[in-house]
Structure 1
Amino acid sequence: MTIDRAVLMFAGFVTLAGITLAYLLNPWWILLSVLAGLNMIQAAFTGFCPAAILFKRLGLKPGSAFR
């Protein structure tokens, strides 16, 4: 698995977790999904993604978006 795919998988998981928690527990959990979306937008413009840095340190192979 490359860093790019791991970041996409993690972002999808965080988004779905936020929606699920908002539905089951408290509507304020929707902010988790909002933060994940905002992070994806800023990463598209800047190339900086904290999750990509973490996955790189864990030894995943670089992809074309995050090196």
Structure 2
Amino acid sequence: MCMTNSKKWHLERLLFLIAGSFSLVGLAVGFFISPWGYALNLLVAVNMILNATVGFCPMAIPLKSFGVKSCDYRLTGEN
């Protein structure tokens, strides 16, 4: 993962924000409303594992269509 200043919102940073938010919502729904809310956490975990293993993330498709750029350290020369 590349280090950026806190003012830049690259694709990878937004993906972590969205995954964390969905996970917290799933926990809240599971705890306060219905145990089926924990299924949202399962879906988030499956998507994160899918992204880590094969590099595909379904949430990245709409984000890229909105024009969010990826922070690829290989292209910028940063570590």
**TM, length-normalised to structure 1:** 0.90
Higher helix share: 1
Calculate the aligned-residue CA RMSD, in Å: 1.3
Q: Which protein shows a greater Rg?
A: 2
Q: Size of the alignment, in residue pairs?
A: 65
**TM, length-normalised to structure 2:** 0.77
- 1:53, distance to aligned residue in structure 2 (A): 1.2
Gaps of 5+ in 2: 1-8, 74-79
Structure number with greater CO (CA < 8 Å, separation at least 6) is: 1
Deviation >6 Å, runs of 4+: none
Percent identity at matched positions?
34
Gaps of 5+ in 1: none
Structure 2 residue aligned with 1:54: 62
